[in-house]
Amino acid sequence: MSRQFFGTDGIRGVAGCPPMDTRTAHALGVALGKWALETSTQDRAKAAPEVASAPEVLLGPEVLLGMDTRESGTWLAEQVAGGLARSGVTARFAGVITTPGVAYLTRTGHFVAGVMISASHNPYEDNGLKVISHSGFKLADEVELDLEVLMLKWLASGLEATPSALTVDSMLDNLYTDYLASTVNGLFPFKLVVDCANGAATEVAPRLFSQLGAKVHWIGASPNGRNINLDSGSLHLENLRKRVLETGADLGVAFDGDADRALFVAGNGHIVDGDAVLFLAGTYLKRAGELQSDLVVATVMSNLGLQKALESNGIQMLRTPVGDKYVLEEMVKRGAVLGGEQSGHVIFLKYATTGDGLLTAIRVLEIVRDSGTSLGALVGEIKNYPQKLVNIRVKVRRPLNELDSVQSEIAAAEREFNGSGRVVVRFSGTEPLARVMIEAKTDADVDKWTTRIADAIRAELGSVG
């Protein structure tokens, strides 16, 4: 059965339009409620008597809801809650919280599942519905397909989508930030600039950094429902870099809309991406004897410079397809404790089952504090190859292996590189984009081959804008 709703990261689209409309959100609530009831019944049958009689079991299953700061978040949450109620399941509302915050609370609470309402780094017009199981992991593909069957059945019923009013439980945010703070020994006597992208971190980051003793200059911390990710956050580091240099801060941190990723600016203005964080954390954990199998999991987008820097420190790097889901799968398979993406999704499996920007930030601050030197000095060992990523907004999508001219250009580039560069061409899992990444010894080679391959894609598929 082909998927109609779920993509690589839940359901995503323009808010108010299918599949991100009231009826589809309600249908997800109905389907998730039915699944939750079935799961709860199975768990009760397996449970010991004292667990089966616990108050939360007797009251029935609960599903946790959270959202970022988009103006569409509230009505989407109310529709999911309405669908859950229709199936006899209670929704508990955390209000504005990060995606990893929802994953943590779902995993450590008695919630049978969690739903995060966010489109991550996308503009405010978009939104998404990410479902997380009680394990803290995203739902398995077969469960998502089961939910789609139930959703389609309800959508065909013609019933009205009735929302449920929600009240924010503010204590849930505190449980999450208290947990993060508990993973740190001591305080961080740093002067920081923190960019919250006018998103979910706006609600939780101030309390966390206050607990940890940091002095913070805040930017991107005035959400109005429509400015999430707008010229701010991890996709727009220019303003953060400027503020770090102007204020003489030790470093800057930028989150994305739902704060599952973090990027950094060193005090000298140097940009520190997810690759650099993997190097810092990997070598730090190895020195502490905590890097299992001396292994770090990254993706095909990670720079050759990271791979070589890790190897020079006795650490193996494995690559997966793009997506934190694939990184996590490989980490679990290999028993790795550290993995992530160049974009700033970093997974510290000892502490979390997802990429977590706030957790990444405090781990980086811990490394800088314990080293006694600056972030800029710590990342100096990585010598990155020139790399360029070009996004082409396409009119249609066809399998890349059917695009003869594109395959011809890729083959020509790989012959010329002869092992001294890399070509990665793929479609985005969440947007109508074809992505071309070239890595080579010189900027000229990078420019040459990104242009040639991107032009071939435009000729084959057409482009928008």
Do 32 and 131 contact (CB within 8 A), yes or no? yes
Question: How is residue 293 written in tokens?
Answer: 């199998």
Active site residue: 72, 120, 133, 302, which one? 120
Before 432, cis peptide (omega within 30)?
no
H/E element holding 450? helix 443-461
The Cα–Cα gap between 326 and 296 comes to 13
Name the CA radius of gyration of the chain, rounded: 22
**DSSP states along 277-346:** HHHHHHHHHHHTT-SGGGEEEEETTS-HHHHHHHHTTT-EEEEE-SSHHHHHHHHHHHT-SEEE-TTS-E
Residue 409 to residue 389: CA distance in whole angstroms: 16
| CA 128 – CA 20 distance, rounded (Å) | 7
Q: Minimal CA–CA distance to 20: which of 430, 302, 295?
A: 430
Closest CA to 453 of 392, 402, 395, 386: 392
Distance (Å, whole) CA 167 – CA 271: 40
Known catalytic residue at 120: yes
The catalytic residue positions are 120
